[in-house]
Amino acid sequence: QVQLVESGGGLVQAGGSLRLSCAASGRTFSTYFMGWFRQAPGKEREFVAAISWSGGNTYYADSVKGRFTISRDNAENAVYLQMNSLKPEDTAVYYCAVSKFLNIARRVGDVGYWGQGTQVTVSS
């Protein structure tokens, strides 16, 4: 049974940092894109960042570019999201995601597996 378990969320002041982790189990995702989405209250789930299987290609939403960094460790079957210079508008539940196919998942429909989500709250 595939499981994606996120950790690292919490409450932080604006300008602070958090590092999210996602550990996958049940199968190996070393050949798939992995990434992060987020969903704020009353809003649709949106793409945040993705990373190719080799880690050589990364993609970011414009709203987080320059502040967030995605990385992965295929030996650990894990993906990470370092979030710096956090803003109140970054407040959301953050979900780890694995693409359904071998290309990047930028849309909810392209995701094959989801984590349960971790809450990130940024206070002003």
Q: With a cut of 90, say whether residue 23 has pLDDT above it.
A: yes
Instruction: Report yes or no: 13 and 120 within 8 Å, Cβ to Cβ.
Output: no
The pLDDT-based confidence of 45 (bands split at 50, 70, 90) is very high
For the purposes of burial, counting CB atoms within 10 Å of the CB of 83, is it exposed (0-12), middle (13-18) or buried (19 or more)? buried
- Alpha carbons 7 and 92: distance in angstroms, whole number: 14
77-103 mean pLDDT? 95
pLDDT interval class at 103 (50, 70, 90): confident
Q: Name which residue leads in pLDDT, 27 or 112.
A: 112
State mean pLDDT over 49-73. Answer: 95
Return the pLDDT at 29. 81
Radius of gyration, alpha carbons of the chain: 13
